[in-house]
Structure 1
Amino acid sequence: MNNISKHPLSDLGYNFIEKKFIPKGKDEYYLRNIQNRSGTSYRQLTAFEIEVLVKNGNSTDNWNNILVSDAFNPDLVKSCKFYGLTRIGKLEPYYLEFNDLKVEVGLYNSTIISCDLGDNVAINHVNYISHYIIGNEVVLVQIDEMKTTTHAKFGNGILKDGENESARIWLEICNENGGRKVIPFNGMQPGDAWLWSRFREDEKLLKKFIEFTEKEYRTEPGYYGKVGDRTVIKNTNIINDVWIGSDAYIKGANKLKNLTIKSRPDAKSQIGEGCELVNGIIDFGCRIFYGVKAVRFVMASNSQLKYGARLINSYLGSNATISCCEVLNSLIFPAHEQHHNNSFLCAALILGQSNIPAGATIGSNHNSRGADGEMQAGRGFWPGLCVSIKHNSKFANFTILAKGDYDYELNITIPFSLVSINEAKNTLEIMPAYWFMYNMYALQRNVAKYESRDNRVEKIQHIEYGYLAPDTVNELFEAVELLEEITGNAFQQHSNISTSAIGKARQAGRELLQSRSKIIDELVITVPGAENSKRPAIVSKIQKAYDIFNGMIRFYGINHLLQFAEENNFFSINDLKKALTEKNIIREKWTNIGGQLMPEKSVMQLKKNIHTSKINSWQQVHDYYLAAGGRYTVDKTMHAIASLFEIAKINVDALSTELLAEWIAEAKRTQKWILAQIEASRKKDYDNPFRQMMYTSQEEMDAVVGRFEDNSFIIEQRKITAEFVRKLNSLQKKFVP
């Protein structure tokens, strides 16, 4: 049966903190007094004020425990019940208006238990509010229950004094069995979640992370909930153990429990109708609307949940949107888009800038006998409609999957590829460089789109949105080597070369690809280990992909070399060579940590600093991110220059005026080719007869979808290309007078 206990009515509103947890010389309000920073001076009610309050239908267990400011107006308090110590700020005869909601200042028709109420609040029909500190000009209308318990943690995975470990909240991200679980905390960055979930064999590191989290927060029971200035809450059922920042807007929510909702004037958070949110952290500028269900979650800043989305045991990165669908046990980096009702993610690590379409089943686990599967996808992951993927699968950056049921685990290591299934031939097909060949418009446009949408107010982690960056370029190098090797293997099999020569396969493949041998068209080129099946994985358009991959690496390097020269005024080849020699540049391994790219050695140094206690808090970890972000431009430039010399197979000493002139000319050609690819990939949408057939005339089509000639993004890219060429011409004149 329900355990319902009886207590004297005179105790209601008191003894919020058990006496054993109250420090010597303190009372039960000592934490409340620390939290209330209003600076208001309170006094007791006058006899006249008490008389007015009674006349207005108010009651209390003890009028002496209602304290007010000098600007208190008793005429603005009607039909309220007060219990415990209640402190009320200024009340003036105004009404507050927000989004056409007009509410008079004052306290009306509410039960208020041991709360601090700021200046000119409007509280009306709040059936039960206890142990909250309310800011100035806050509107609370039609709320059924709003209370704070003595052990409130506001979504943080900490334990209060006297609590058992079983009460701790964990996020079981990336794997359903809890093997990568992390403790959520206010301010958690995606990089924090990644570090904590990745290095599971490092017990000392994991213990340090727990220590960082526990010392971030006080463990004494008895903290009050808070509602910041100018926050509006209306028509909401239950709000328990919730800390809410300023200028938030909550309307029609069903249940909010154990949450931190961060909000401020320049990054307002909103929660709408039918939402049920439990055990979570919601960062600045988030939007949550229309029947969302979220349990054990963290939402980074400027992210959205909409239209019945479900987010459970997951971390959602900043500038991300999930609509309709379900996400379980996942760690998602920034700039993620996921829509439509029947798609979901399960036990996944998604490295950002991803787009999950309708019908996608990303992370189904029905080929396993336990909840131990995982899926990892690099930046720019884009599965097609109704794609089904099995655990365990892993995808390189900018992998696009064509519609299909992928019945076997996948390991796609070639970036910028289109992966599809040829049902007729029962083969898996991989087309490297697909994005560059056929979808350059989207690839280039997404860079600007993600940058424009990055409205984080606290940019602790520097997020890379460009498609040519240390992580993708390193994958391009690996892909070039792989293409050489599998081409050589196919050639040897085609030519019946003995297995004793297999070790020379990569050399043979390189020679064929660099000479653009026509025999490549005759080869059936497969890549081993791409799929956990016996059917072949065929690689198509390999010559074109090989040329593009090499060209994009060179373009990346040339641009950064010229930028380095210009920024440092190195317009003498000797000065440039001397500066580069002093840098001792090498191409290093890089890692994507929550959308922030770092050299692998920097990640290892971070771990070492944590091990040796040079870093002792999450704040210091975040300072490390900021410092790494400050070095990123220089580090990326050095990586790009090292990549250029490596792909060109020369060292710094070989740099000459003539070679630099060749590279400048190549950069101009590549930039013009990119523009042509952007235009071609967009123009095909206008020339497609199956698109044209929806319109009775060209004029109607232009009116509906706009004219190709008026495309603002293409116009902008033409200007960028013209400026790029002009700049390179100017640089060439400086280097070659």
Structure 2
Amino acid sequence: MSEYRPLTTREIETLEKQGCFSNEWNNIEVKDGFDPSFVRQTAFSGKIRLGCFRRSFQFAGGVTKHSGISNATIHNSIIDDDVYISQIRNQIANYHIESNVIIENVDSLTTEGKSCFGNGEKVAVLNEAGGREVPIFNELSAHTAYLLAFYRHRPMLIEMLNNMVDTYCQNICSEKGTVKSGARLLNSRTILNVNIGTDAIVEGIYRLVNGSINSSREHPSYFGPGVIAEDFIATSGSTVTDATLISKCFIGQGCTLGKHYSAENSVFFANCQGFHGEACSIFAGPYTVSHHKSTLLIAGYYSFLNAGSGSNQSNHMYKLGPVHQGVIERGSKTTSDSYLLWPAKIGAFSLVMGRHYRNPDTSNFPFSYLIENKDESYLAPGVNLRSVGTMRDARKWPNRDKRKDTRKLDYITFNLLSPFSVEKMIKGKETLIKLKETSGATSEYFMYNSVKIEAKALERGIFLYDIGIIKFLGNGLMKKLESEAFSSIEELHEVLKPASGEGTGEWVDMAGLIVPKEKVLELVEKIEKGKVKTFTEMNAIFGEWHRNYYTWAWNRGYSMFQSALNIDLGTISKQELLDFIEDWKNAVVNLDKMMFEDARKEFTLKAQTGFGMDGEDEIRNVDFEQVRGAFEKHPAVCDILEHIERKKTLASKISEKIKSL
């Protein structure tokens, strides 16, 4: 039995007295408890269902307004309990307005024909000319998008994933849009074929067409003044405001786009930020950040990127149009006015400074500086390992996770040193040694993939990669030795053995999620064979990978001891173990001391230039200290010193434990 009933004659008379109009009052149904006194100056057409209006809402300045409908045209819509609708200049047509929604001073809220509300729109990432399209939908994760964009060599996978998207869209498409409970639509103009999620706020927008603003009670989304967006999907906790222009984009959880940002054919995943600049055909993995005017990110894949002011790339290398693409691996930075000519590939946690025209590939040299000198690209391998800024970045990312939704779409591995980055360091070290052997020890510089590496930089790179490798492998070993119980060297050998062979091969960074490549290929085969049929199943698998990171990372680390350091943990002696613990302690302390000295540069006399405006040295020093603080008390410096003492203590503790065997 329906909870709705036809209007009574008395209710119709009351509505007409209050300026309401309908050609077919018989097409309007209401709930028991409906009070017509709260509906005024409203024209109804098509099939209408109205709930009860019992509650009041608080507005800015302490103004109270009772739920109901006034000064509106409503066509073919369902309006649930306790909704406030007022000042609709054109119409609300073909919508389901759920309970506790406020819609005030809106030009039009309309669904025309059958719409998927942005779901299924194909976004031309990386290659403007097409070929890597990612179909966007409400449940899209960075990892699913990664497969869609980068696994084109598996056409069956792409076909199956696209079929899954099509099936998903069939369940979304409707001739009626939805405004979910608790949403607020205020002072806005045209909204056409847009679904609006729970508790979302849409305020002062200019035009929204064919999209979904997904939202949640834990983390509402916000679309603010001046925004124009079309063919888009936004997820919970996303913010788009300040006259931002969006076309064919996916906006992930916790993302913020504002201050006149412009983005087209791009996907942004968890915690990205875009202000002032422009994005065109980019795959922005988690924490891709661009804050400045004149910054163009184009046809590239990024994650954990910090793009400096005026950073640009070009995807026109020859004459066949914008068909080139680039990759800047996780954690990299581009300085002000930097430039890269695609195609190019930049290694993880690298710094790009200057202009680079020769299509460099530094992917096997993470933690490096790529610097321009007289139109040539110079590489300084590994030097970012000793940068205090690198440490600061690694610590700030988890703290800057804005996502409050209990259900997260993207799984993020924050670790600075991981099987992914350490594999690259091992390859980088081997490459540097090989360059030295083949080119001769007397060479002033070495060429590799269009970049110059000076002899001094090569030697330093080998040294720094050695330290980084030992630190990573030692971190995993020390964690095992600290947490596991053993009373003999034989028992120690047993507890160190991997529980399985999973993760012992190559690892990849899957748009923020660092996983064994074998696991990715297993999933690909399951999808191709129809064993994984829904995105819910896929996201559950991504979650399982994330939970197993440390187990699989140890499996990989165990095998790396043999391949990279020639240490067999299955037969290691007490003395060999004690020697390695000492090497690990020295590696950690040496890196920390390098960071300490790097931090000190921020407190030199040169750094104090511009302080003490109207005084001499003493006033400058006091002014600097009042603004920047004392070097010894800076949080980053204190963290380094505490880390050194903590690791020294751990090394001593574990060494004593080994000696007692």
Decide: shared fold, TM above 0.5.
yes
Provide the residue aligned with 1:260 in structure 2.
212
* Higher mean displacement: 63-72 or 372-381: 63-72
Provide the residue aligned with 1:17 in structure 2.
none
Provide the residue aligned with 1:228 in structure 2.
180
Shift of 1:654: 4.1
- How far apart in 2 are the matches of 1:584 and 1:210? 34
Partner AA of 2:310 in structure 1: G
Quickly say closer, same or farther: Cα 1:221–1:180, change in 2 above 3 A. Answer: closer
Partner AA of 2:393 in structure 1: N
Quickly say closer, same or farther: Cα 1:636–1:461, change in 2 above 3 A. Answer: farther
Contact kept in structure 1, 2:369 and 2:379, CA below 8 Å: yes
Provide the residue aligned with 1:30 in structure 2.
none
Partner AA of 1:491 in structure 2: G
Provide the residue aligned with 2:68 in structure 1.
106
Matches within 5 A, 1:161-560: 169-218=121-170, 222-350=174-302, 352-402=303-353, 404-413=354-363, 414-423=365-374, 427-437=376-386, 439=387, 441-456=388-403, 457=405, 458-491=407-440, 494=442, 523-531=443-451, 536=452, 538=454, 540-560=456-476
Shift of 1:378: 0.7
Please state if 1:663 is matched with 2:580. Answer: yes
CA RMSD after TM alignment: 2.2
Quickly say closer, same or farther: Cα 1:99–1:491, change in 2 above 3 A. Answer: farther
Q: Which residues of structure 2 form unaligned runs of 5+?
A: none
Quickly say closer, same or farther: Cα 1:539–1:254, change in 2 above 3 A. Answer: farther
Quickly say closer, same or farther: Cα 1:589–1:368, change in 2 above 3 A. Answer: farther
- Which structure would you say has the larger Rg? 1
- How far apart in 1 are the matches of 2:644 and 2:79? 59
Provide the residue aligned with 2:46 in structure 1.
84
Partner AA of 2:372 in structure 1: I
- How far apart in 2 are the matches of 1:269 and 1:40? 34
Report SS of the residue matched to 1:448: helix
Give CA deviations for 1:515-556 in whole Å, capped at 9, x if unaligned: xxxxxxxx313133235xxxx554642222211211111111
**Equivalent in 693, 702, 707 of residue 625 of structure 2:** 702
- How far apart in 2 are the matches of 1:151 and 1:654? 67
- How far apart in 2 are the matches of 1:220 and 1:407? 46
Contact kept in structure 1, 2:328 and 2:345, CA below 8 Å: yes
- How far apart in 1 are the matches of 2:9 and 2:196? 36
Please state if 1:734 is matched with 2:653. Answer: no
Report SS of the residue matched to 2:585: helix
**Equivalent in 22, 28, 43 of residue 66 of structure 1:** 28
Contact kept in structure 1, 2:58 and 2:64, CA below 8 Å: yes
Shift of 1:415: 1.1
Quickly say closer, same or farther: Cα 1:93–1:568, change in 2 above 3 A. Answer: closer
- How far apart in 2 are the matches of 1:571 and 1:367? 66
Quickly say closer, same or farther: Cα 1:136–1:707, change in 2 above 3 A. Answer: farther
Please state if 1:613 is matched with 2:530. Answer: yes
Provide the residue aligned with 1:55 in structure 2.
17
Q: Report the structure, 1 or 2, having the larger strand content.
A: 2
- How far apart in 2 are the matches of 1:52 and 1:428? 79
- How far apart in 1 are the matches of 2:152 and 2:254? 30
* Higher mean displacement: 583-592 or 383-392: 583-592
Provide the residue aligned with 2:515 in structure 1.
598
- How far apart in 1 are the matches of 2:571 and 2:238? 53
- With normalisation by structure 2, the TM-score equals 0.93
- How far apart in 1 are the matches of 2:644 and 2:454? 36
Query: When the two structures are aligned, how many residues end up with a matched partner?
Result: 649
Contact kept in structure 2, 1:430 and 1:540, CA below 8 Å: no
Q: Which residues of structure 1 form unaligned runs of 5+?
A: 1-38, 158-168, 495-522
Contact kept in structure 2, 1:428 and 1:538, CA below 8 Å: no
Report SS of the residue matched to 1:415: coil
Contact kept in structure 2, 1:96 and 1:122, CA below 8 Å: no
Shift of 1:571: 5.2
- How far apart in 1 are the matches of 2:500 and 2:455? 37
Please state if 1:719 is matched with 2:642. Answer: yes
Partner AA of 1:182 in structure 2: V
- How far apart in 1 are the matches of 2:172 and 2:648? 64
Report SS of the residue matched to 1:527: strand
Partner AA of 2:330 in structure 1: R
Partner AA of 1:451 in structure 2: P
Report SS of the residue matched to 1:301: coil
Shift of 1:443: 0.9
Contact kept in structure 1, 2:481 and 2:654, CA below 8 Å: no
Give CA deviations for 1:96-152 in whole Å, capped at 9, x if unaligned: 336867544211101111111122211111121011111222111111011112311
Quickly say closer, same or farther: Cα 1:220–1:254, change in 2 above 3 A. Answer: closer
Shift of 1:366: 4.9
